[in-house]
Structure 1
Amino acid sequence: MTTEIVIFAVLFLLVSGLGFVAARWRRPGDLASLHEWGLGGRSFGSWVTWFLIGGDLYTAYTFVAVPALVFGAGATGFFAVPYTVIVYPMVMLVLIRLWSVSHVHGLVTPADFVRARFGSSTLALLVAITGIVATMPYIALQLVGIEAVLKTMGVTGDLPLIIAFAILAAYTYQSGLRAPALIAFVKDSLIYLVILVAIIYIPVKLGGWGSVFDAAKAKFDATPAPGDGILLNSSNQLQYVTLALGSALALFLYPHSVTGVLASRDRNVIKRNMSALPAYSLLLGLIALLGYMAIAAGITPIGKDTNTLIPKLFDAVFPDWFTGVAFAAIGIGALVPAAIMSIAAANLFTRNIYREYFKRDATDAQEARVSKIASLVVKVGAVLFILLIDPQFSIDLQLIGGVIILQTLPSVGLGLFTRWFHRAGLIAGWIAGMGTGLVLLYNIANPANNHAHFGSSAFPLKQLGLDTKITIYAGFLALIVNLVVAVLATLVARAMKAADGPDATQPDDYHADQGDPRVHDLEVASST
């Protein structure tokens, strides 16, 4: 155990050191602006962007939460694989349009775009608040990953976790987006190394893949429960499909995903990355199988904490030195996205709350300073999510966040293609969708952990009066309500000739690329 702790600590501190050094990497003349601190100067090329977005999207959620769900529920846990397969071709055209209009108008956040597109500070405020709130449980999920590793190594108490996130807060504060961009190279290299070794070494040690799947089937056959099993069944197929589709729609609505995209140098960088990022989906499928390996190895969680399953599996089958490397991969895999997420949420607060409602004439330096402080506050909010919501599977922290962020799809996602919606319609749709989503989540119980509310994101249709055991992703239902209300309210607003906000964008803005005269230098864009 001592060997594991030493190797984990050394690699963790080494990477943290890179986080501080990153302030001098690609350093501009002045780091005191959101374009530099929060978007890395908008200058990242294909390789940096690939590691940055990959490090942003494939997190402790991937390494800890997905295998834990597969261990507990079986085939349902593989929803993460198809959703990360379909998301990249689906969003590529969306993201290049967002990149272009953001660079033409000097936009930093999705709420900035909504403010420009629909001329509504209220709608932009709702989008900003939604992004901040949805990001907090995602950051909390990263905390859970580090906590699981520490617990497996026998490191108890909250102090080590607090120290880890204090270090994260410090280098994020100093280096901004450059820190996770640089660290992502190490993080992804470690994860690829650990997973490639795991998928070869562990099955051989357990008697082959046949033994692994046989053990998983025996476990689910012995403890039958609705929706569990190595194959999908009639009660969970709709949940699987809607969860995969809903998660795909939600993924690039998250502010941290947008941050990685806007930091890219040009549209071709985004196109190349959307073509190459599915390589991570192959890795994700292999990682999910660790859940079945844990069953075959007879692993049981520490207490009722299913997040410790994969760390315990590594501890049981690997030599101590390699276990330390694997634990470091999980820990570092949590630090990178947590840094990007806190930066993205802080940018939302600064641009769309602080500047809009408190100090309209804020300078670049003032914006950067407020954003740095806000990034610290967001991390505290993530800790509160862990204390107040304790679902059976930590993946539900991300899925609950998905229900919330999906409600920005009409204004952000559809807004990139059409100005048809009236701002009053979008606001009404957001209120209806968000209210529906929260009510649905509140009424989802989880007997496994004695939670009467917010137990998961799988809503039982029987609660709508239907005689069925089928469940559906709560976010999918909430989004349908949002869209229906937005359409109806828009028709009513148009019929009443209600005043609509001005559109500050032009059709050509959505196709501009690097070298186009409309794509201003950062100094010009930041002052507009």
Structure 2
Amino acid sequence: MSEHITEIVVFTILFLVVSGMGFVAARWRRPDDLASLHEWGLGGRKFGSWVTWFLVGGDLYTAYTFVAVPALLFGAGAMGFFALPYTIITYPLVFLVLIRLWSVSHVHNLVTPADFVRVRFGSPTLALLVAITGLVATMPYIALQLVGIEAVLKTMGVTGDLPLIIAFAILAAYTYQSGLRAPALIAFVKDSLIYLIILVAVIYIPAKLGGWGSIFDAAKAKFDATPAPGDGILLNPNNQLQYITLALGSAMALFLYPHSVTGVLAARNRGVVKRNMAALPAYSLLLGLIALLGYMAIAAGVKPITSGGKADANTVVPLLFDKMFPDWLAGVAYAAVGIGALVPAAIMSIAAANLFTRNIYREYFKPDATDAQEAAVSKIASLVVKVGAVAVILMIDPQFSIDLQLIGGVIILQTLPAVALGLFTRWFHRAGLIAGLVAGMAAGMILLYNIANPAINHAHFGGSAFPLSQLGLDTKMTIYAGFLALIVNLAVAAAGTLIARAGRLADGPDGTRPSDYTADEGDPRVHEIELSGSH
């Protein structure tokens, strides 16, 4: 550890400064009373274009961006670039979805995607399933952020669980106090640090390694020398379908996550949402540059830290910074990764807590809960969610931390028919949607369970690339498990709807009107409900 003193000092100072901002955020744009989900969990629903851009960007581009994507390129090559088209195509896909969700949520005072399902389909059961799905999918995503912090600590020679627990405790404390205002304020620093480090890295490191040609040559030499199915600097016929379905499936899943919805619902009006959907692809350029850090690590001869006989690929980027940067700059880079984990982890825990409070606690335990009681329960739930994320780390030990996000994606994708399609049509019967969600979730879990990864000696849950040979097809091609599960979901939902209609089963009442989906700031109903804070 002694050789990393400068890095540790710089990392600690920046980490503490940003954490201090998290506590101060409780006074930033402070309302008369923070004791409501609209203030604690959605920042008062008053964020403008710039705050929303940093908040949503800080929410979506996380430790997954800085640690997991380059680690996948380092280990598997071109397959890791799926993250680039996925983050490009997601914005046109969700543009119309999110502005409609913003409008109907503000008219009906909704806080979570499950709130919308409850009003749209009149089904507490379907809303409960959507809420539970969101909670389960968010756990591994929060865990991924903690994996990012852990990788930085390992690189600095800081071992043991205590430092990670301390970072976790600080995160829990300022999230509890300040709510969504904390990650919104911190996101400004987080993004500034990340842009600074990446711009320096893509200019400075290639210059020291002999240029981009040398970097790609080194990557190709590595994959040629250690051939493995799916690995290589280019895609091969066996993983192209996986690449396409993974990018498309991930794009459809991204804004179904509760934390993505939380960032959008905190926006002031529809115009803010539209401008952000147009501007956020700028982050995709940054993501492409970040991904190339994996190839730089190969060219630099970086060897992942080994513990317990296993190489931790998540440490390749921190090790690259340690090897190529001066100590002080490496410390700044580590802080960027650490802070890049804190912002989304805070938003995710808030979003998951809101799900529990609104769609489980209020729906089933205390229907007459006041705003203050909702906020108090949500604060406690946010702490419990973080503990659950730590448990995920202990239970699942993937070779690449990106698997945590991919598993969560398979799960959350199953809410697409009820949430995304529900914003446009009520053709699906609530019974069909319930049957489809259950079938899709079961299919997803079965598929994930049957994916092995010999490289890490995992017979189950070894990734998200499902071999089509297991379906009896004579091929070596793989496909994204979430995509198959969604097909099962939609098929069962459609069949269930037809059966329910034929049997004349009662459908739930639709609490929305067509005009609700286009309401904007200044609409009398939006203004009245926001002022009243009633449910």
TM-score by length of 1: 0.99
Shift of 1:90: 1.2
Is the CA contact (8 Å cut-off) linking 1:23 and 1:179 kept in structure 2? Answer: yes
Alignment of 1:126-165 (within 5 A): 126-165=129-168
Alignment-derived partner of residue 33 in structure 1: 36
Match of 1:342 among 321, 346, 349: 349
Q: State yes or no: 1:518 paired with 2:503.
A: no
The answer to whether structure 1 residue 384 and structure 2 residue 391 are counterparts is: yes
Alignment of 1:102-501 (within 5 A): 102-303=105-306, 304-501=311-508
Contact preservation (8 Å) 1:32, 1:364: yes
Q: Distance in 1 between matches of 2:29 and 2:454?
A: 51
Q: Give the letter for the 1:100 counterpart.
A: S
State the Cα distance separating 1:521 from its structure 2 match: 4.0
Amino acid corresponding to residue 235 of structure 2 in structure 1: L
- My pick for the range that moved more, 441-450 or 422-431, is 441-450
Who is 1:9 aligned against?
12
Identity %: 84
**Which residue, out of 494, 498, 509, partners 1:502?**
509
Q: Are the aligned partners of 2:521 and 2:527 in contact in 1 as well (CA < 8 Å)? A: no
Does residue 1:63 correspond to 2:66, yes or no? Answer: yes
AA matched with 1:151: K
Is there any run of 5+ residues in structure 1 with no aligned partner, and where?
Answer: none
Distance 1:503 1:165, change over 3 A: same
CA distance in 1, matches of 2:520, 2:527: 10
Partner Cα distance (1:160, 1:335) in 2 = 14
**Alpha-carbon distance in 2 for matches of 1:203, 1:407:** 42
Tell me the CA shift for residue 523 of structure 1: 5.1
Assess if the C-alpha contact under 8 Å between 1:111 and 1:348 holds in 2. Answer: yes
- 1:459 is paired with a residue whose SS is strand
* 1:89-108 CA-partner distances (Å, limit 9, x unpaired): 11011000000000000000
Separation (CA, whole Å) in 1 of partners of 2:459 and 2:276:
42
Task: String of CA shifts for 1:28-86, please: whole Å, max 9, x gaps.
Answer: 00000000000000000000000000000000000000000000010000000001001
Code of the residue aligned with 1:161 in structure 2: it is L
Mapped contact 1:436–1:481 kept (Cα < 8 A): yes
CA deviations 1:278-320 (Å, max 9, x no partner) are: 0000000000000000000000100111000000000000000
Which residue identity is paired with 1:182? L
- Please, what is the CA RMSD of the aligned residues? 0.7
Cα distance in structure 1, aligned partners of 2:530 and 2:372? 12
Given that 1:350 and 1:370 are in contact with CA atoms closer than 8 Å, whether structure 2 keeps it comes out as yes
Matched-pair contact (CA < 8 Å) for 2:109–2:530 = no
Find the residue that maps to 1:437 and give its secondary structure. Answer: helix
| Distance of 1:504 and 1:141 partners within structure 2 | 37
Structure 2 residue ranges without an equivalent (≥5): none
Alpha-carbon offset, residue 465 of structure 1: 1.1
Cα distance in structure 2, aligned partners of 1:185 and 1:404: 30
Tell whether 2:96 aligns with 1:93.
Answer: yes
CA shift at 1:520, angstroms?
A: 3.2
| CA–CA separation in structure 2 for the residues paired with 1:33 and 1:522 | 14
* Structure 1 residue identity aligned to 2:170: I
Write the distance in 2 (CA, Å) between the matches of 1:159 and 1:498: 56
Q: Is the Cα–Cα contact under 8 Å of residues 35 and 522 in structure 1 kept in the other structure? A: no
CA contact (8 A) 2:108 2:529 kept: no
Shift of 1:468: 1.0
In the alignment, the residues of structure 2 paired with residue 517 and residue 225 of structure 1 have an alpha-carbon distance, to the nearest angstrom, of 61
8 Å Cα contact 1:106/1:525 also seen in 2: no
CA distances 1:126-164 after superposition (whole Å, capped 9, x unpaired): 000000000000000000000000000000000000000
Task: Please report how far the alpha carbon of residue 449 of structure 1 lies from its aligned counterpart in structure 2 after TM superposition.
Answer: 1.2
Cα distance in 2 between the residues matched to 1:521 and 1:393: 48
* Higher mean C-alpha displacement, 443-452 vs 429-438: 443-452
CA distance in 1, matches of 2:508, 2:59: 34
Q: Distance in 2 between matches of 1:525 and 1:236?
A: 53
> Aligned partners of 2:12, 2:428: CA distance in 1, in Å?
52
Q: Name the SS of the counterpart of 1:377 in structure 2.
A: helix
Structure 1 residue identity aligned to 2:221: A
Kept in 1, the 8 Å contact 2:122–2:511? The answer is yes
Task: Calculate the TM-score normalised by the size of structure 2.
Answer: 0.98
CA contact (8 A) 2:107 2:529 kept: no
Greater displacement, 383-392 / 63-72: 383-392
2:56 partner letter: I
TM superposition outliers: structure 1 runs of 4+ over 6 Å:
none
Q: Say whether the 8 Å CA contact 1:25–1:178 is kept in structure 2.
A: yes
Q: CA deviation at 1:5?
A: 0.2
* C-alpha separation in 1, matches of 2:507 and 2:532: 26
Q: CA shift at 1:450, angstroms?
A: 1.1
